[in-house]
């Protein structure tokens, strides 16, 4: 489902992978049944390749990780959040183009 550059995030590894990361982290909150999520998934994987070494990219399946979804008040998916130095610095809800996601990442590098 996810490329090897995209980390599957769970409540067990979220702190280490995202909150304690020294890089900006892109987190995609998604679900298997969500059409827009499936449309965004290849874009997120592509961005993981484009920004390799600059940002970390991870995905949270909201059906499997309800605790994380609740913690970050995920009401609609896909929700893409950017974290920097352990803090959420930006968020977009819904499907976007690769260019829009790139701009979001660029302004938070």
Rounded average pLDDT per 10-residue block, the chain, 109 residues: 78 97 97 97 96 96 97 97 97 96 96
Residue 109 CB neighbours (<10 A) = 11
- The answer to whether 90 is a known catalytic residue is no
pLDDT at residue 14 in the model? 98
Catalytic residue (choose from 6, 25, 27, 34): 34
Burial class from Cβ neighbours inside 10 Å (0-12, 13-18, 19+) for residue 108 reads: middle
Catalytic residue (choose from 6, 18, 25, 37): 37
Structure tokens at 81: 């959040």
| Distance between first and last Cα of the chain | 26
Task: Tell me the whole-structure pTM to 2 decimals.
Answer: 0.94
The Cα 42–Cα 27 span in angstroms is: 14
pLDDT at residue 3 in the model? 52
- Domains of the chain, residue spans: 6-106
**Contact partners, residue 53, CB within 8 Å, separation at least 6:** none
> In b/e form, how buried is each residue of 18-36, taking b as 16+ CB within 10 angstroms?
beebebbbbbbbbbeebee
Name the CATH superfamily, with its identifier, for domain 6-106.
Glutaredoxin (3.40.30.10)
- The answer to whether 9 is a known catalytic residue is no
């Amino acid at each position: 489902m996810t490329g090897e550059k995209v980390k599957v995030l769970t409540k067990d590894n979220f702190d280490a992978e995202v909150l304690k990361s020294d890089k900006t982290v892109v987190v995609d909150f998604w679900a298997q049944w969500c059409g827009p999520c499936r449309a965004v998934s290849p874009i997120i994987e592509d961005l993981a390749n484009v920004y390799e070494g600059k940002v970390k990219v991870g995905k949270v399946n909201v059906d499997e990780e309800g605790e994380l979804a609740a913690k970050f008040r995920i009401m609609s998916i896909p929700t893409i959040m950017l974290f920097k130095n352990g803090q959420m610095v930006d968020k977009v809800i819904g499907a976007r183009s690769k260019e829009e996601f790139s701009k979001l990442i660029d302004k938070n590098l």
